[in-house]
Amino acid sequence: MRRACVATIARMALDLFAGIPVTDYAAALPWYEKLLGGPPSFLPHETEAVWEVAEHRSVYIVQLPERAGNAVLTLFVDDLDARVGQIAHRGLEPAQRETYRNGVRKITFRDADGNEIGFGGGPV
Q: What percent of the chain has pLDDT over 90?
A: 88
**Over 40-103, what HEC string results?**
CCEEEECCEEEEEEECCEEEEEEECHHHCCCCEEEEECCCHHHHHHHHHHCCCCCCEEEECCCC
Question: What domains lie within the chain, and their CATH numbers?
Answer: 2-121 (3.10.180.10)
pTM of the model: 0.89
Q: Is the pLDDT higher at 5 or at 101? A: 101
The pLDDT value recorded for residue 98 is: 98
The pLDDT value recorded for residue 90 is: 98
Reported as a single tens digit per residue, the pLDDT across 55-104 is: 999 999 999 999 999 999 999 999 999 999 999 999 999 999 999 999 99
The pLDDT value recorded for residue 30 is: 98
